[in-house]
Amino acid sequence: MTDKADTHKRILILGAGFAGLYTALHLDKTMGEDASVEITLVDQHHYHLFTPMLHEAAAGVIQPGLILTPIRRVLRGRRIHFLRARVERIDLEAQEVTLCCRQIPYDVLVIALGSVSEFYGLDSIREKALEIKGADDADRLRCHVVNHLEAATRESDPRRRRKLLTFVVVGGGCTGVETVTELHEYLVHLHKEQYGLIDPAEMRTVLVEAQNCVLLQMGHSLSEAALRRMQKMGIEVMLDAPVTHYGEDGLEFANGREALPTDTVVWAAGVRANPVLDDLPLEKDRMGRIVVDSTLRVPGYPEVYVLGDAAHAEHPRTGEVYPPTAQVAYRQAPIAAANIAADILGGSHRQFDFTYIGDLVSLGRLSGVADPLGFRLRGFPAWLLWKFYYLISLVGWQNRLRVALNWLLALLSPIDSSLPQQCPAECVGELCL
């Protein structure tokens, strides 16, 4: 990597999420005006998605566009080349990546392609369930909810109407809990504002979790606090309920529990690494993440770095595996950039030695749970900390200002329940609008 005979180095970064985008920005700063280094950032979207606020966009608390930052705007004035393209194949031996539109060689490769939903082989879930992973999912969920409320106003069969009005989120982790609480408050708002003729007793919001508790990673006290909060809101929580199938009768379970009739399942029960990594001849964990060393490099391939949800990285002292969160991805970026600079310019490598500071979980309006650095917070203090932390983490001061204004308006006035004009109507039976 430091051969002086070849001074031109091509750094290729795959993925413009937290890990990829910030690695590019740190490299731009670290490498200065060195014209011998070429930095290329590739992503299939033209925007950076701020995923921690996706559930708020889905519930109308903030405008969906506020969590999308155009990548070219972020890179304006920098010498990072952005290429919008889909990654199809990575050839480690030839040091070449095949995109949907071309092939591109590299000297240093950063794989930060993120994750996709893990369906655990449940094809019926994969085909029919909604997700809460991408930017389109927020609009899709809101459209789906309104379409089903509209259909329920015309449905005369009480059993069918109740199925239309049962909204289920599967997964009791951070994403699932945040999604179900925001979805419930969105449904309450829609009922009050537009659908008062629907009997509220027919409307159900349900959280399904395979384990015997929610927010397992946050400990018993905060798990119980979150459970009590959801139950107080009117959310039904089904624990010890592993899902096996999603069919005409609704959601079916492994333990003999009666099927749950529903036409709405939002899947938030796990993630796995991007499937592009499946064909790479590298050691991976059960989530498909590539095993990396303490410097975030792939053993045997010192020119390849893997970050974020694509990386199985362990704490150098405790051996604990870092979780697939934005917090970890964001912290890995400067370490990877420093080590790449050391590859090219010479110098020592740094270990990724980061103590996970804990989780922040919002539970709807003015409530949350958090365990920053071992401190346990619940209620309004946790909600306030969640707002502050993610507000300052947003990319761009314009988005920070607009999101803060959206939050203020959401507290002082009804949330925005309008739908985008291009919202497609579902057309199956009574759903034809």
- Percentage of the chain lying above the pLDDT 70 cut: 94
How confident is the prediction for the chain on average, in pLDDT?
A: 91
Q: 25-54 pLDDT, tens per residue? A: 999 998 867 778 999 999 999 999 999 999
| Active-site amino acid positions | 178
Q: 314-373 pLDDT, tens per residue? A: 998 888 999 999 989 999 999 999 999 999 988 899 999 988 888 999 999 999 999 988
DSSP strands (E only) in 85-208? 87-91, 96-99, 103-105, 108-111, 115-117, 130-131, 166-170, 204-208
Tell me which DSSP letter residue 314 carries.
Answer: B
Q: pLDDT at position 5, please? A: 39
Mean pLDDT within 65-90: 93
Q: pTM of the predicted model, to two decimals?
A: 0.90
Domains in the chain with CATH codes: 9-44+85-117+272-345 (3.50.50.60), 123-269+359-431 (3.50.50.100)
Q: pLDDT at position 39, please? A: 95
Q: Which residues pair with 205 in a beta bridge?
A: 167
Tell me which DSSP letter residue 372 carries.
Answer: G
For residues 87 and 432, is the Cβ–Cβ distance under 8 A?
A: no
411 confidence band (pLDDT: 50, 70, 90): confident
**For residue 368, which of 217, 173, 181 has the smallest C-alpha distance?**
181
Q: 151-199 pLDDT, tens per residue? A: 999 999 999 999 999 999 999 999 999 999 999 999 999 999 999 999 9
- Percentage of the chain lying above the pLDDT 90 cut: 74
433 confidence band (pLDDT: 50, 70, 90): low
Q: What are all long-range contacts of 185-193, with beta carbons under 8 Å and residues at least 24 apart?
A: 185/59, 185/233, 185/364, 185/365, 186/58, 186/59, 186/60, 186/142, 186/145, 186/415, 186/417, 187/145, 189/60, 189/414, 189/415, 189/417, 190/145, 190/146, 190/149, 190/417, 191/149, 193/414, 193/417
How far from each other are the two terminal CA atoms of the chain, in whole angstroms? 61
For residues 295 and 141, is the Cβ–Cβ distance under 8 A?
A: no
Tokens encoding 82 = 């952005």
DSSP strands (E only) in 178-328? 204-208, 236-238, 243-247, 250-253, 264-267, 271-273, 290-291, 297-298, 301-306, 311-312
